[in-house]
Amino acid sequence: MKIGFIGLGIMGKPMAANLIKAGHELVVSTHNKAAASELAELGASTAGTPREIAAQVELLITMLPNSPQVRDVALGPDRI
């Protein structure tokens, strides 16, 4: 399955890595450039905006810390 993953922090990055290791295709956000680079080395694709991620995937997972970040992803400019 092709999965989008937004939120590559302390919890999100290991979860995303496990999805790749389980054989899923992953598209991740480039917001956290270091984490996105690490996941790209494991085989993930990257995209600049949530809209770009959503356009490429069957399932979208967010692992965000709080309501303001969720609002930013869901309602912000050039968002899903």
Chain position carrying tokens 């984490």? 35
pLDDT at 59: 96
In 10 A of CB 56, how many CB atoms? 14
Q: What's the pLDDT score for residue 66?
A: 84
Q: Where are the beta strands (DSSP E) in the chain?
A: 2-6, 25-29, 45-47, 59-62
Assign 3-class secondary structure to 35-65.
HHHHHHHHCCEEECCHHHHHCCCCEEEECCC
One digit per residue, pLDDT tens: the chain, 80 residues? 999 999 999 999 999 999 999 999 999 998 899 999 999 999 999 999 988 999 999 999 999 888 888 888 877 765 44
Q: Does domain 2-11+23-75 bear CATH number 3.40.50.720?
A: yes
As a whole number of angstroms, the longest Cα–Cα distance in the chain is 33
pTM value is 0.87
Report pLDDT for 80: 46
Give the residue extent of every domain in the chain.
2-11+23-75
